[in-house]
A and B are shown apart, each in its own frame.
Chain A
């Protein structure tokens, strides 16, 4: 073996074209073998043959603006159907002159959410309190009216995307405190408390939401004393809240489990009582970890709200179905469903992206 010492430092060379650059990329990822090449070609042809007619139908030959189905003349998609019914799809039968109230609530909601989600915004704690306590009150006053000189709008007139959002948001906000209590109860050392919580959680998680909605719409009136009436929306909300609290409890429990034992011991060692320790030390950490889980369960809830059409509420999906079932607009089911799918998709996809983003940033800070 000979000793060897290099005297020259070799420069870093750029990779040759055979391994870098678009041609190399395509060779590696699309045409790496004969089989792969065939697959690529077949797929490209299949996509083109499916996508071109679709784009042609949905965009190029489509009619966008008009007042009735007579304006749909070009043989493509009739987006006029959506254009004409947009107000119905967004807020249902909410009185035309009062629609500004729903827009105002929407604007406050967007600003609040932006304040919560954007890291750079200060006063996070106050925004949280506003979002959980003040906002629901303002939203209810604005939407329902009957005070501050606003005319009363019955919940029968709420509909479309407005109703979908109301159900989803009330469902998650109202289920939250119950979910935390259930999660704490399930981890409690008191056997009876634990048993009650386990049974409660597992029963709701074991049955489909539609049976819960049936129960709340059929059985809830039976449970209440004679003469006490609650409206359809409230009944659905009660069912959804109970259902959702069980799922939230499991999400919160996973967060409580992820907190190291040392944190519980430290809280005890500092002389904090159980509730002080939970409120000041454990829950703030646990809830931070489970933000992605909460967002994911909100996504499920958002999709599940469509079930209320089965018990006769007019959410986004129901108003769209109602619109294309009317004799004037018969035959535009595909346009209607595609529009509904797009709306749901935008909400769910952006929320799932947000949840992934939070998950990633939690991973790096921990």
Chain B
């Protein structure tokens, strides 16, 4: 309370509530009015679009709704991961396209990560030549549109390959030719399940060894070669099981008959080109992220570790990588997201992804533009939101505690 002697007004009129401004000068009311007007405006715009769309669709004789998903599609798709025939429904084409998108995205992420990390590390190499080559790779690749790179592989490089008859063959098992890469496909016998279980068991075992080694190290200080033991276990145990159960795996080896191959599995050239281009393009960005992530850890950190007697490899493992990862992982996930979105460029070379099959062919056949575009966008939105939710969670978990 103010000192009554200093106050110009008598104390009994002093109020803790400030006087009210007039309606138009009250910022809260202004904001409210503004927001109401904005909502009305957007509502009007949406209503305008909505009524136009209804009218236009009506005129073209297109019935809105999702009934078309149950109608038979009547067209073929060159690559299907789940059973699909021309008699399958349009709804099925959605699933087939989605799975094809996820296939490229998944494989692309794996390849891009491997290549990107290698190039990023090469960029930091002490060998001048290696680091220069990595730099040239990065600066060339990321300044050329990904679509151009996809088309380049598909329409300029792959056609240079010979036809199936004169395939480039590796040990008569793998054949590289114009129409793709043909390789033996595995035929599993029922007993193969044991090898699978052995693999799972080996993973668990490796995990247990890791825990045990850590506990022992903390208790006695003894160190144990966890990495090599784990690799040995994960490879060795399933391999021994495989031979003990009588090698229950056969290969369907491709053989040339006439102008094409019989048996085996053929990776279609669209997939090859798309994978090559997207992996390389994304790898260039990942390499930059890895480089800047590692360089973001100040030199003082590795000097401090060195002065404590830690070897360079341990310094990397215990000090540099844990800190670099905080910088790398959020950017890496957004690159993964970009790669996933870029798989939609496959439409330009006819790779049967979601956009090509569903937002392309299915849309043309049914004319249900609104529903189909809406569903397609929703799929990508769902993927984006999932990834950005992961990113928020990760950032919150990994944020360095500061004052």
Contact = CB atoms under 8 A, between A and B. Distances in A.
Assess A/B contact in the complex (Cβ within 8 A): yes
Contacts of B57: 222
A224 B52 contact: yes
A303 B57 CA distance: 34
Given A304-B145, A349-B139, 15 more contacts: A39-B127, A205-B384, A206-B383, A207-B341, A207-B380, A207-B384, A211-B373, A211-B377, A211-B380, A218-B373, A219-B370, A226-B56, A309-B348, A321-B151, A337-B148
Contacts of A19: none
B384 A349 contact: no
A345 B49 CA distance: 40
B38 A193 contact: yes
Interface in B26-81: 31, 34-35, 38-39, 42, 49, 52-53, 55-57, 59
16 contacts: A190-B35, A192-B39, A202-B384, A211-B355, A214-B373, A219-B53, A219-B369, A222-B52, A222-B56, A222-B57, A223-B49, A226-B59, A333-B155, A333-B159, A337-B148, A352-B143
B381 interface: yes
A40 B126 CA distance: 11
A340 interface: yes
B225 to A, nearest CB: 22
A137 interface: no
B345 A210 contact: yes
A52 B87 CA distance: 54
Nearest to A350: B143
A77 to B, nearest CB: 12
A344 B144 contact: yes
Given A29-B126, A30-B129, A349-B143, A219 B148 contact: no
Contacts of B147: 306-307, 309, 317
A304 B373 CA distance: 20
Contacts of A304: 145
B143 A317 contact: no
Contacts of B152: 337, 341
B38 A196 contact: yes
A210 B129 contact: no
- Pairs A-B, 10 closest by C-beta atoms: A206-B384, A348-B143, A29-B128, A208-B341, A303-B145, A333-B156, A208-B344, A192-B35, A206-B381, A306-B145
Secondary structure type dominating chain A contacts: helix
B51 to A, nearest CB: 9
Contacts of A277: none
A189 interface: yes
A117 B348 CA distance: 36
Contact of A337 (B38, B52, B156): B156
B126 A190 contact: no
A218 B363 contact: yes
Contacts of B347: 210, 310
A223 B52 CA distance: 5
A313 to B, nearest CB: 13
Interface string B4-20: 00000000000000000
Given A30-B128, A40-B127, A317-B151, A345 B344 contact: no
A254 to B, nearest CB: 14
B341 A43 contact: no
Contacts of B344: 208, 210-211
A222 B53 contact: yes
A206 B59 CA distance: 32
Interface of A: 29-30, 32, 36, 39-40, 43-44, 47, 189-193, 196, 202-203, 205-211, 214-215, 218-219, 221-226, 299, 303-304, 306-307, 309-310, 317, 321, 333-334, 336-337, 340-341, 344-345, 348-349, 352
Contacts of A348: 142-144
Given A190-B35, A214-B373, A30 B143 contact: no
B31 A190 contact: yes
A98 B157 CA distance: 37
Interface of B: 31, 34-35, 38-39, 42, 49, 52-53, 55-57, 59, 126-130, 133, 139-140, 142-148, 151-152, 155-157, 159, 341-342, 344-345, 347-348, 355, 359, 363, 369-370, 373, 376-377, 380-381, 383-385
A307 B342 CA distance: 11
Which residue of B145, B155, B363 has the most chain A CB atoms within 10 A of its CB atom? Answer: B145
A206 B143 contact: no
B148 A306 contact: yes
Given A36-B126, A210-B355, A303 B373 contact: no
A312 to B, nearest CB: 12
Contacts of B373: 211, 214-215, 218-219
B376 to A, nearest CB: 6
Nearest to A347: B143
A210 B143 CA distance: 19
Given A222-B56, A341-B148, A345-B140, A203 B345 contact: no
Nearest to B131: A29
Which residue of B38, B39, B126, B147 has the most chain A CB atoms within 10 A of its CB atom? Answer: B147
A66 B372 CA distance: 49
A192 to B, nearest CB: 4
Nearest to B139: A349
B144 A43 contact: no
Given A317-B148, A337-B152, A345 B143 contact: yes
Nearest to A214: B359
Given A190-B34, A207-B377, A222 B355 contact: no
Contacts of B56: 221-222, 226
A28 to B, nearest CB: 8
A215 B380 CA distance: 14
Nearest to B341: A208
Nearest to B53: A222
A190 B37 CA distance: 13
